Structure 1
């Protein structure tokens, strides 16, 4: 219907005055919103203020940019005097919780594209080592840099300077700010004024700690920027750090582009000093003559338009309606209605915006399926985790498998599926975001940052119970049994209260209870795979139990399934073998994670270690069911007897299959790559 309306009015629009040219553009943002900005990289909005680099107490590298969504006409190729002049005023601050960790700087820039993001460090989040930022378009990137770091290789005059850059971080002109009493790293709010007048090809920059424009500029340079303009350009800000905790913010922004001849006419009547929202040598936007008003032109257009327009509009309306009906029908054929009772379909546009164009800074994890991004939806501020497929054929199959399985599951220890998207040949799953990341991260990657010490014994024991509960649900309480096939610490997420949530059903399989397992080639992660699964490729609930046993030992010991920790010969050690050896030597308590500093219940530790060993028994027939495990952990059943020595591997009749059966099953199966991430 909207398209039909546009078609109906198209001839009328031809009679209206042309769109605003470079002489008529002005905007004033006292505060910012997602409606008028495009955020890229690490930039964000908070309380109407733009943050360009991430807030962190740990020195890191960060880059972000914020771009006005409105394209501005800077050049009219049809006229000789068609290049714009412009002026802008904005306030910014550079704060640093760790003054010893100094960073880089920020820029105000004009770019031919609206996707401008560059490298960290001296490239200011705007340029790249091989060229300018990925802005696109035919013009150049023009920037005023406010650089708080001395980079001799880029010709910086000091670690406190302002400069003019064109397609390079090496400035065309720059000046040290120290003699002017301006310290970019002071943490104070600094106001900047930038004026460029095309008629005299001159650019000036003022800086001050108040809202009153200083009498003298800090930078004056003569340059013809019209040579670098594209017809339409975008304006915005960028910043970067490299090994620093600096934070760059923008508070308030006014911008105006105007024609150069008007400047010459109005300059004498404008005071040299401007304050508040006033501008130096900037004309007011012209008001159209009432005799040429759009209403008069619209009336004339309505008198001219004939019935042919209505016929075209009707035809377009029918075509659009038919297309939508066909799309809905096709969508229903791909995604069954039972899949969609809970999750909703997201648009690619909103997920792209929420992940800042799937920027690398938003990546929170990687796996066999693809990449996981942190997504914050504009407006609502809701945060999700978005899984993006690698686009391989097998990934699409896993995508459909994960969607069909998890959409019908409901358990407090499952990561909740919120939605999905299949636009632009993408395969995207949207989950609720887990604040504390993965169990893998908290156990191992947390060792460097110290967050692993926050994962107390009570929380670890609770994690063991939670995963046992959800596996009991998947194996025995669902309408169809679900075999996960990839139980590991990186697939177990932790919410804000460290409660465990099992996720990643890309390798899961559905089957009826008491049904014989279906064979495929082995899928999963080395170190978590049961011996019979490696031998025959038969996934059963007992293969999930084995993987769960390995996870339990990791929770207790703080060691990876295959590790070289404390091994003088630097040989890889199997975690199950190591714990079983300590148990056989009556030293089982020594397997406890040293990072707990002895702060655990010894009885619970020993009991959980024995549960882990019983689940990781090489013989699948000797492993408990997950229901039995849950009862033991809840002290509703007696612990299982665990032999002192690790049993020898035996393939019982329940687990063995004829060679003819194996070959037959494998020939009809799909190859799934084994993940070797351990």
Structure 2
């Protein structure tokens, strides 16, 4: 109920903010509608025009609409509304409902009954009325040439229809028109559409449970330009003189020069029940059946509870209780992601799938990563590190909120980043290109987050998988470094213990392939490749490129040696970038990606360079180029080209060279 109310509230806010030419009412609770006569809005949001005999009711949109801004040709418009007519005495005829376009929303001289509360014998048919009506007529009036007591008509300045037809709708399934009874008490959909260029008016009906039919009930050529003035009101009218009936409008939408918004049947208010509630025969003749049914239901409920417990069973050991609120219930994450449905899937990475979810307890959006594992060995140490990472607090880091364990699955819960990963904007969104200013701010933000990990937190954190795919963008397009599944921690002044080579090809420092030992310098190398990737709009290794351009750092280095480093800038930017900033990022990217770890700057120095707090070292382009191309030597005879295995064709956006995160040699 709350979600329906929230959706209704948002739609009402949208209607209020969209101006006089586009509105929608999925129910009328709190709506600003001009009411006249017996018209009122019920407590549950129904617009009730009349509910007894000898009454008339009008309900109009409160502000006039400008139909003829050019003062000559009427604009196109579209209307959709849902109505229902409920007779108090079945079988006894009553009046119908009309949709009205009028220069006034008040009709002081309008008479009851056949005059719809709009006209009287003195003014009906006058060309000065400037009134257009779509009538849903439930009475046969031979004075006005009605075809029957259940028809739809188009009236101009009076109540003699220029075209009418028995109430029906076109069935898309059967391919023919099916009859409708306007006084059935069932809600019905009506569409009124006018094409101002072609002077064509279409009126379409259907039961509320069916989609809009392919063919209208009425289609006619009529020029409303001489009828409709510049400022006109739109609304509904009815009147009763004999048999009482209740005339309801459940929802209403309108749009000038476009298609009116579709009314959602689930958001519309409910009609009152007709007649007394029927008594169930089961209470008098089916007691044995009821007992049997309740017994079977109880057994089924018990089975469902047992299956549910098995379905949501979790792994919980005594040592995990110390993490308290950082441990999520699997049931909550299952519900938040709608059962981990593919509709909520955000992406697939090297470790598993990531889903969007909304926690029912707090209504907070989260991202849930599902990681499969087969080993319990080292789990306690791993969870301890995960919870330590959960204490990281920085505006350029994705916040790790907690975890959950279930059977052979580990689930990590992060803050949700609505704009997704950076690599999608660089490579997969041709219509959403990032400007240079956005890219430069993202680079600086990620650098700030990495400095926090290396030098400013209570421990040193090695990320070990810095790349565009792991940089997420928040609602304001700020870059946030995420995915700490490979991260390792150690105390300041100590050294990292891991000797497993992990990461993504193209971002791996050369010494990793020899020693497997990650350091802050190997993170800096990956950050350098990341800077080049953002500035050049190219992946670090691209097998589709020519041989001399396949490895990004080599190609940018060659451009530097030729003195044309700006030619490496992303061609999609054109010349729309700051030359000094682009040169700084390209050169700093090469410096950070230097094959010799001793030549790479620290992240503190990187921040100084980016903020222009320190000049970039004037390195020899020949020397740096020779080192990158493997002409020099690294620790003896190690070939530096080994760090760029261009013969491998892997999915660089999502696949990592990775250890099992739960293996015994962590």
Q: 1:430 to 1:161 in 2, by over 3 A?
A: farther
Q: 1:392 to 1:367 in 2, by over 3 A?
A: farther
Q: Distance in 2 between matches of 1:502 and 1:472?
A: 11
Tell me by how many angstroms 1:445 deviates: 1.1
Which residue is 2:333 aligned to? 351
Tell me by how many angstroms 1:439 deviates: 1.1
Q: Distance in 1 between matches of 2:529 and 2:359?
A: 37
Which residue is 2:533 aligned to? 554
Tell me by how many angstroms 1:383 deviates: 1.4
Q: Distance in 2 between matches of 1:463 and 1:451?
A: 16
Which residue is 1:629 aligned to? 606
Tell me by how many angstroms 1:389 deviates: 1.4
Higher mean alpha-carbon deviation, 586-595 vs 637-646, is at 637-646
Q: Distance in 2 between matches of 1:376 and 1:513?
A: 37
Q: 1:193 to 1:621 in 2, by over 3 A?
A: closer
Q: 1:489 to 1:178 in 2, by over 3 A?
A: farther
Assess if the C-alpha contact under 8 Å between 2:354 and 2:367 holds in 1: yes
Which residue is 1:508 aligned to? 487
1:165-208 deviation digits (Å, cap 9, x = unpaired): xxxxxxxxx523656699999999964469xxxxxxxxxxxx99
Q: Distance in 1 between matches of 2:261 and 2:510?
A: 51
Q: Distance in 1 between matches of 2:482 and 2:607?
A: 19
Assess if the C-alpha contact under 8 Å between 2:374 and 2:408 holds in 1: no
Which residue is 2:96 aligned to? none
Q: 1:175 to 1:367 in 2, by over 3 A?
A: same
Which residue is 1:46 aligned to? 7
Assess if the C-alpha contact under 8 Å between 1:483 and 1:541 holds in 2: yes
Q: Distance in 2 between matches of 1:536 and 1:636?
A: 34
Q: Distance in 2 between matches of 1:401 and 1:186?
A: 64
Q: Distance in 2 between matches of 1:253 and 1:366?
A: 35
Q: 1:254 to 1:566 in 2, by over 3 A?
A: closer
Which protein has the larger Cα radius of gyration, Structure 1 or Structure 2? 2
> Is residue 369 from structure 1 mapped to residue 348 from structure 2 by the alignment?
no
Q: Distance in 2 between matches of 1:394 and 1:249?
A: 53
Q: Distance in 1 between matches of 2:545 and 2:178?
A: 57
3-state DSSP of counterpart to 1:46:
helix
Unaligned runs of 5+ in 1: 1-30, 36-44, 51-159, 164-173, 195-206, 212-245, 256-274, 293-326, 657-669
Q: 1:510 to 1:639 in 2, by over 3 A?
A: same
Q: Within 5 Å, which residues of 2 pair with 1:223-372? A: 250-252=264-266, 276-278=271-273, 283-284=278-279, 331-334=317-320, 336-337=322-323, 344-372=326-354
Aligned partner of 1:391 among 373, 387, 404: 373
Q: Distance in 2 between matches of 1:516 and 1:392?
A: 29
Q: Within 5 Å, which residues of 2 pair with 1:458-473? A: 458-473=437-452
1:518-538 deviation digits (Å, cap 9, x = unpaired): 242311111110111012111
3-state DSSP of counterpart to 1:582:
helix
1:631-657 deviation digits (Å, cap 9, x = unpaired): 11111111123331321453349x99x
Q: 1:650 to 1:162 in 2, by over 3 A?
A: farther
Higher mean alpha-carbon deviation, 477-486 vs 576-585, is at 477-486
1:604-646 deviation digits (Å, cap 9, x = unpaired): 1001111100000011111001110011111111112333132
Q: Distance in 2 between matches of 1:189 and 1:534?
A: 71
Q: 1:175 to 1:378 in 2, by over 3 A?
A: farther
Aligned partner of 2:465 among 476, 486, 490: 486
1:517-558 deviation digits (Å, cap 9, x = unpaired): 324231111111011101211111110000000000011111
1:445-504 deviation digits (Å, cap 9, x = unpaired): 112xx112xx22112111111111111111112222111111111111111111111111
Q: Distance in 1 between matches of 2:382 and 2:441?
A: 30
Assess if the C-alpha contact under 8 Å between 1:34 and 1:378 holds in 2: no
> Is residue 584 from structure 1 mapped to residue 561 from structure 2 by the alignment?
yes
Assess if the C-alpha contact under 8 Å between 2:402 and 2:413 holds in 1: yes
Q: 1:411 to 1:193 in 2, by over 3 A?
A: closer
Which residue is 1:603 aligned to? 580
1:202-221 deviation digits (Å, cap 9, x = unpaired): xxxxx999x9xxxxxxxxxx
Which residue is 2:659 aligned to? 672
Q: Distance in 1 between matches of 2:347 and 2:475?
A: 18
Which residue is 2:412 aligned to? 429
Assess if the C-alpha contact under 8 Å between 1:474 and 1:482 holds in 2: yes
Aligned partner of 1:440 among 417, 423, 427: 423
3-state DSSP of counterpart to 1:561:
coil
Q: Distance in 2 between matches of 1:33 and 1:619?
A: 58
Q: 1:494 to 1:526 in 2, by over 3 A?
A: same
Assess if the C-alpha contact under 8 Å between 1:546 and 1:617 holds in 2: yes
Q: 1:598 to 1:399 in 2, by over 3 A?
A: farther
Q: 1:565 to 1:360 in 2, by over 3 A?
A: same
1:579-621 deviation digits (Å, cap 9, x = unpaired): 0010010110111111222111101100111110000001111
Assess if the C-alpha contact under 8 Å between 1:481 and 1:511 holds in 2: yes
Q: Distance in 1 between matches of 2:615 and 2:607?
A: 11
Assess if the C-alpha contact under 8 Å between 2:461 and 2:490 holds in 1: yes
Aligned partner of 2:499 among 495, 509, 520: 520
Assess if the C-alpha contact under 8 Å between 1:564 and 1:572 holds in 2: no
3-state DSSP of counterpart to 2:265:
strand
Which residue is 2:223 aligned to? none
Q: Distance in 1 between matches of 2:205 and 2:378?
A: 50
> Is residue 532 from structure 1 mapped to residue 511 from structure 2 by the alignment?
yes
Aligned partner of 1:593 among 551, 570, 581: 570
Q: 1:279 to 1:394 in 2, by over 3 A?
A: farther
Which residue is 1:416 aligned to? 399
Which residue is 1:644 aligned to? 621
Q: 1:538 to 1:344 in 2, by over 3 A?
A: closer
Assess if the C-alpha contact under 8 Å between 1:346 and 1:421 holds in 2: yes
1:97-127 deviation digits (Å, cap 9, x = unpaired): xxxxxxxxxxxxxxxxxxxxxxxxxxxxxxx
1:301-339 deviation digits (Å, cap 9, x = unpaired): xxxxxxxxxxxxxxxxxxxxxxxxxx99965513644xx
Q: 1:597 to 1:279 in 2, by over 3 A?
A: farther
Q: 1:545 to 1:193 in 2, by over 3 A?
A: closer
Which residue is 1:451 aligned to? 432
Which residue is 2:19 aligned to? none
Tell me by how many angstroms 1:510 deviates: 1.1
3-state DSSP of counterpart to 2:266:
strand
Tell me by how many angstroms 1:508 deviates: 0.9
Q: Distance in 2 between matches of 1:179 and 1:475?
A: 73
